[in-house]
Amino acid sequence: DGGITQSPKYLFRKEGQNVTLSCEQNLNHDAMYWYRQDPGQGLRLIYYSQIVNDFQKGDIAEGYSVSREKKESFPLTVTSAQKNPTAFYLCASSIQGAGEQYFGPGTRLTVT
Amino acid sequence: GNSVTQMEGPVTLSEEAFLTINCTYTATGYPSLFWYVQYPGEGLQLLLKATKADDKGSNKGFEATYRKETTSFHLEKGSVQVSDSAVYFCALKMISNYQLIWGAGTKLIIKP
């Protein structure tokens, strides 16, 4: 079955710690995206990557970092510089340039 | 800039009622338009899309027509079910841009 996996589903961290969220896809998509979703709000783009070894900042990249060393993988690191890291994080992928994005099940991060 | 505006929720209906969720957009040019659905605790799924004026997207009993004259893409369903309870997002994409522009989402609650 093709799809996107995100792990873990729930993640708890202490303030001041960096944490890395996993995103893997086997859809052979070139493009991958990270979004943040806060309660009752829409999606905000953190980073996106159109091709391996290249990525661009989205609207709220501060305090986050990514890498794209493999086509299948696009991990997101939430650093201690992110002031309000508690949120629901969604990873997506698409054919390059397409509007149809395929989403993973999300990771709910809680930082205390 | 380009933007999407959705009606505020929550929208609460009884089972078998008629559903309309309004979506209007502002765009310089001719975007593709999308509706995505997010069930509780999950990622988003593409529900339907339309790529040019007067196109009608449809899926699972939901429909939306791309109206250029009113810059709208309202989501409709003739008879909703409890299982349709979810958050619905309207989005647009310009050919020249990699990103989707998202509405804030509309929560739909269907009561038995």
Q: What percent of chain A has pLDDT over 70?
A: 98
- Does A105 sit within 8 Å of B43, measured CB to CB? yes
Number of residues written out for chain B: 112
For B44, the token pair is: 């988003």
Residue B70 has pLDDT above 90, yes or no: yes
CA distance A34 to chain B (A): 11
Q: What is the pLDDT of residue B111?
A: 97
Asked whether the beta carbons of A58 and A28 are under 8 A apart, the reply is no
Q: What is the pLDDT of residue A1?
A: 62
Residue B36 has pLDDT above 90, yes or no: yes
- Per-residue pLDDT of A86-103, as tens digits, reads 999 999 999 988 889 999
Distance CA B88, CA B56 (A): 17
Q: What is the pLDDT of residue B95?
A: 85
For B12, the token pair is: 């609460």
Residue A60 has pLDDT above 70, yes or no: yes
- Does A58 sit within 8 Å of B99, measured CB to CB? yes
Per-residue confidence at B1, pLDDT binned at 50, 70, 90?
Answer: confident
Residue A40 has pLDDT above 80, yes or no: no
Q: Can you tell me the mean pLDDT for B27-40?
A: 94
Q: Can you tell me the mean pLDDT for B98-103?
A: 90
Q: Does B17 touch chain A (CB under 8 A)?
A: no
Distance CA A47, CA A15 (A): 22
Q: What percent of chain A has pLDDT over 90?
A: 86
- Does A99 sit within 8 Å of B43, measured CB to CB? no
Q: Who among B32, B42, B105 is closest to A99 (CB)?
A: B32
Q: What is the pLDDT of residue A89?
A: 96
Residue A83 DSSP one-character state: S
Which residues in chain A touch residue B107, judged by CB atoms under 8 angstroms apart? Answer: 40
**Strand pairing of B106-111 and A43-51?**
unpaired
Which residues in chain A touch residue B100, judged by CB atoms under 8 angstroms apart? Answer: 99, 101
If you write DSSP's letter for every residue of A11-62 in order, what string do you get?
A: EEE-TT--EEEEEEE-S--SEEEEEEE-TT--EEEEEEEEETTEEEE-TT-T
Q: Does A106 touch chain B (CB under 8 A)?
A: yes
Q: Who among A43, A50, A106 is closest to B102 (CB)?
A: A43
Residue A27 has pLDDT above 80, yes or no: yes
